[in-house]
Structure 1
Amino acid sequence: MRRHILAVLGLLVLAAIGVFAYLAWPDAARLDVAAVSGARPTITPPREQMLPTVKTADPIGWKAGEAPTPAAGLRVAAFATGLDHPRWLYRLPNGDVLVAETNSPPREGGGIQGWVMRHLLGKVGAGGASANRITLLRDADGDGRAEIRTVFMTGLTSPTGMALFDGQLYVANTDSLVRVPYTEGATSVTAKPELVVKLPGGGNHWARNVIPAEDGRTLYVSVGSASNVAEGGFAREKFRAAILQVYPKEKTFRVFATGLRNPNGMALVPGTNRLWTVVNERDMLGSDLVPDYLTAVELGDNFGWPWYYWGGYIDTRVEPKNPELQQYVKRPDYALGPHVAALGLSFAGDAKLGGQFTRGAFVGEHGSWNRKPLSGYKVVFVPFDAAGWPVKGAKPADVLTGFVTPDGDAHGRPVGVITDRTGALLVADDVGNAIWRVTGAR
């Protein structure tokens, strides 16, 4: 009996040593991010992990006079500072800017992965309580800085997306889509939010987005998965990892497209009004997989999550298998690199940055927590051609960098991106608690 106990203890010690060794020497990337970017990224064999690679950029904020680094020919300055975890932006018709000051609701789940996620959220500046409000910012004198700031709306639950539609302002909470009457020029809303549809809440991916659809009568709402690869069961994933099409008059919805692990930013490309989204792909297949992506989305599309990635590569971890789906899985249009955490999306449209930033998509990359070395932590631009598709052979171009120090600490993390009424680019920085304004050089 004693020998059996010693044997078991020995195995436990070896297992513990293995875990700690893994944490000390996580999987390191063997490819540059650029190699896993573009229309034809390099897809290498997966390096499956029991625990995710843990590599974080600890938040340090911005000191007075510090700012991100703009691309050559651009300038950057603070539009607003001192906010509480600003993640998403929306421009009203009169030029006012709404910012969702928001954060994850309390995290659920136990076990090693639950502990890792809660620990990491604190490390990357995403573990605090949510302000649960929308703030209005107004640059009345046109100097490029918001001098008027008011609490526009409260009574929300981890809100993200905002959209005006038929005289109402729609807000995507983590667990519902709600609306209130909107009056142009108003600096606050006192009406009680009206429920439009309930949304599945909880789990890993809490942020929801909403935009008006091209048909003029429905809305698109993005809902991320509850898990990495449905390890908590498929019942938890109902109406998740999907873009929903909401019929606001009827207060109903249908699944528009699915197999999208965590779609967040959505936008209609100017000219064609085709729906595009950016998607966070899965973890724990190594630092080189799987690339986050930017893609067009049509009714009935299935991008494969959780069974497949990048158009048909099998994720062997997922049970039960779904071999019948493989031939129908749609391959994304454009890879943004592994673990960059692509969240924000805005097409150039009325942007006036000039040069190479005239036609294409701005993408806010929140940055990795599970890749060595770090990836993302910047705003990039994907050039599009006149037909409304990414330029063949093009790689993402940096627009705004410098969010991470040479020592690996994070001044900030970019999320939502929009243009203001002058054509400048506004970038929400939820760790730096600021909104940055990028303009073309004069």
Structure 2
Amino acid sequence: MLKHLLRVLLLVLIAGGGLFAYFAWPDTAKLDVEQVAGRNPKITAPREQMLPTVKIADAVGWPAGTRPTAAAGLAVQPFATGLDHPRWLYRLPNGDVLVAETNSPPRPARGITTRVMNFLLGKAGAGVPSANRITLLRDANGDGVAEARTIFMTGLNSPFGMTLFQGQLYIADTDALVRVPYTDGATRITARPELVVKLPGGGNHWARNVLPAPDGRTLFVSVGSSSNIAENGIEQEKFRANILQVWPKEKTFRVFAAGLRNPSGMAINPQSGQLWTVVNERDMLGSDLAPDYLTQVEFGDHFGWPWYYWGGYPDARVEPRNPALQEYAKRPDFAMGPHVAALGLTFANDAKLGGRWASGAFVSEHGSWNRKPASGYKLVFVPFAAGGFPSAGAKPVDVLTGFLDGEGKARGRPVGVITDRTGALLVADDVGNSIWRVSAGNRVAAR
């Protein structure tokens, strides 16, 4: 199968002449990631591509006795290992941790594009079938390692976000928001999930997240686009590239904010009480564009996708154009860098890692597949000032690195990030099939 796929690709590239040259010499970044990060990133001219730069970090996992590298003054140890593609985390009131062991739903191979994408996903460690379950982890003795593990819930469809709200557990499946009754301390739920609202599924960006809104009545649900830049038609993007606001009692929703290509992590800023999110931006404008970002989101905001990026830069590839939107496209608050794949987000208010990490946001960068050289593959910290926004001149600060080995292969890829009941960070690693615990103190010896 792979040999046939490669033959087809070769024929396509040879037929295109210049495309073959492109494939041999993909677009290489001209800027450091740091130059395209911060409140005022450097936005250069786009280098449009007929085919994306492909720079896959082959997934190899963690050799025995190895682990990520923590920043000075922090320690890292495994909280849980041997999981099945852990993506998202949620801490219950009693301190138990739920982990969504999940992946993209099957993508039928209906053409060369889908076949190539499936091949690339496999190389990146995302080609395994979804376990479609939520697992409960319990650290009863408080040593920072989960000694108890139970299958908490099954019968789901690529579950991702989870939250407790008004006595029920809400789960964001890839195509629906569902809920089940919850009792504190439960280790398994067998109730059949009740549908709250249907969500658009299929295409790219399958993961859905859910978060209680500050009003105490509604929920925020993030839904990524089905494509890169609406190349299949904007009508295919209805209720996508949005954050939706859901009324669970009435089982209704509205668009809260739009133009967000793929928002995943969401959190309420403790300084302002406002919603923030991290967003994956578009591909095939070169290795320096466009920056993924962290931003505050308010009702009625439109961040420009697919017509504009970074507050009004036009994407000439998108037809029909939308000139009336340009002056209203909201500029994000903080660039994370190009193609870093920012996914996880949690604010530092519950973390107890020391003064350097006291005010700001932790962001997990799953890592690029289409930038040369690779970007992301780390957990970073964005310092915030007293006004509730990133500090002027701030750049992302490395917290957890080492997910790429010396040969550019992926030992792990960070996704969800939360705090545990002690104030340490927990980071889901879907390639390493582990959850890492980051705490204040010296590095814990490998074991």
TM class by shorter chain equals: over 0.9
The residue type equivalent to 1:358 in the other structure is A
Amino acid at match of 1:403: F
Q: What SS does the corresponding residue of 1:294 show, helix, strand or coil?
A: strand
What is residue 246 of structure 1 aligned with on the other side?
A: 246
Cα deviations by residue, 1:136-181 (Å, 9 ceiling, x for unpaired) = 0000011100000000001100000000000000000000000000
1:192 positional shift: 0.4
Question: Contact 1:364/1:380 (CA < 8 Å) preserved in 2?
Answer: yes
What letter corresponds to residue 23 of structure 1 in structure 2? F
Query: How many Å separate the matches in 2 of 1:134 and 1:349?
Result: 26
TM-score normalised according to structure 2 size: 0.95
Q: Which runs of 5+ in 2 are unaligned?
A: 1-10, 443-447
Q: For 1:324, what is the secondary structure of its paired residue?
A: helix
Q: Give the match's secondary structure for 2:337.
A: strand
Partner of 2:428: 428
1:56 and 2:56 matched: yes
Cα-to-partner distance string for 1:33-72 (whole Å, 9 max, x where unaligned): 0000000000000000001000010011012210000001
Matches within 5 A, 1:14-413: 15-108=15-108, 110-413=110-413
Distance 1:111 1:318, change over 3 A: farther
* Maintained 8 Å contact 1:243/1:263: yes
Contact 1:242/1:255 (<8 A) preserved = yes
Q: Count the aligned residue pairs.
A: 432
1:22 partner amino acid: Y
Does the aligned pair in 1 maintain the 2:13–2:20 contact within 8 Å? no
Structure 1 gap segments, 5+ residues each: 1-10
Q: Output the CA distance in 1 between the equivalents of 2:212 and 2:403.
A: 32
Residues 215 and 110 (structure 1), Cα distance of their counterparts in 2 relative to 1, 3 Å cut: same
What one-letter code is carried by the residue in structure 2 that aligns with 1:238? K
SS of match in other structure, 1:235: helix
Letter in 2 for 1:71: A
2:98 is aligned with what amino acid? L
SS of the residue corresponding to residue 319 of structure 2 reads coil
- Distance in 2 of aligned mates of 1:106 and 1:317: 29
Offset, 1:20: 3.0
Name the structure 1 match of 2:6.
Answer: none
SS at 1:364 equivalent: strand
Shift of 1:115: 2.9
Percent identity over the alignment?
75
Q: Deviations over 1:297-348 (max 9, x none)?
A: 0000000000000000000000111111111110000000000000000001
The equivalent residue for 1:3 is none
Q: Render the CA deviation track for 1:387-439: whole Å, top value 9, x for unaligned.
A: 21101110000000000011010000000000000000000000000000000
Q: Per-residue deviation at 1:381? A: 0.2
- Using the alignment, how far apart are the partners of 1:28 and 1:169 within structure 2? 45
**CA distance in 1: counterparts of 2:125 and 2:100, whole angstroms:** 16
Deviation per CA, 1:247-282: give whole Å up to 9, x if none. Answer: 000000000000000000000011321100000000
Task: Tell me the residue number matched to 2:8.
Answer: none
Structure 2 residue identity aligned to 1:133 = R
Q: Is the 8 A contact 2:173 2:208 kept in 1?
A: yes
- The structural deviation recorded for 1:355 is 3.0
Task: Normalising by structure 1, report the TM-score.
Answer: 0.96
Q: Report the Cα distance in structure 1 between the residues aligned to 2:110 and 2:302, rounded to whole angstroms.
A: 30
Contact 2:29 2:288 in 1 (8 A): yes
Query: In structure 1, how many angstroms separate the alpha carbons of the residues matched to 2:185 and 2:421?
Result: 15
Contact kept, 8 Å, 2:48 with 2:286, in 1: the verdict is yes
Measured against aligned partners, the alpha-carbon deviations of 1:116-149 in whole angstroms (never above 9, x if no partner) come to: 3111100000011000000000000111000000
**Given the superposition, is the C-alpha separation of residues 143 and 313 from structure 1 closer, same or farther in structure 2, using an over 3 Å criterion?**
same
Distance (Å, rounded) in 1 between the aligned partners of 2:313 and 2:116: 27
| Counterpart for residue 8 of structure 1 | none
C-alpha distance in 2, partners of 1:404/1:333? Answer: 28
Please give the alpha-carbon distance, in whole angstroms, between the structure 2 residues aligned to 1:14 and 1:167.
60
CA RMSD of superposed structures (Å)? 1.2
Distance in 2, matches of 1:117 and 1:267, equals 30
8 A Cα contact 1:108 1:203, kept in partner: no
User: Deviation of residue 113 (structure 1)?
Assistant: 3.2
Q: How far 1:110 moved relative to its partner? A: 4.3
The change in CA–CA distance for 1:109 and 1:325 in structure 2 (over 3 A counts) is: farther
Conserved in 1, the CA contact under 8 Å of 2:14 and 2:20? Answer: no
TM superposition shift of 1:109: 6.4
2:322 is aligned with what amino acid?
N
**Separation in structure 1 between the aligned mates of residue 389 and residue 108 of structure 2, nearest angstrom:** 39
Partners of 2:245 and 2:254 within 8 A in 1: yes
Paired AA for residue 414 in structure 2? P
Q: Is the 8 A contact 2:294 2:332 kept in 1?
A: yes
Q: For the structure 1 residues 13 and 336, does the alpha-carbon distance in structure 2 shift closer, same or farther, using more than 3 Å as the test?
A: closer
Distance, in Å, in 2 between the alignment partners of 1:112 and 1:336 is 32
Cα gap change, 1:250 to 1:121, in 2 (>3 Å): same
Contact 1:51/1:113, CA 8 A, preserved across alignment:
no
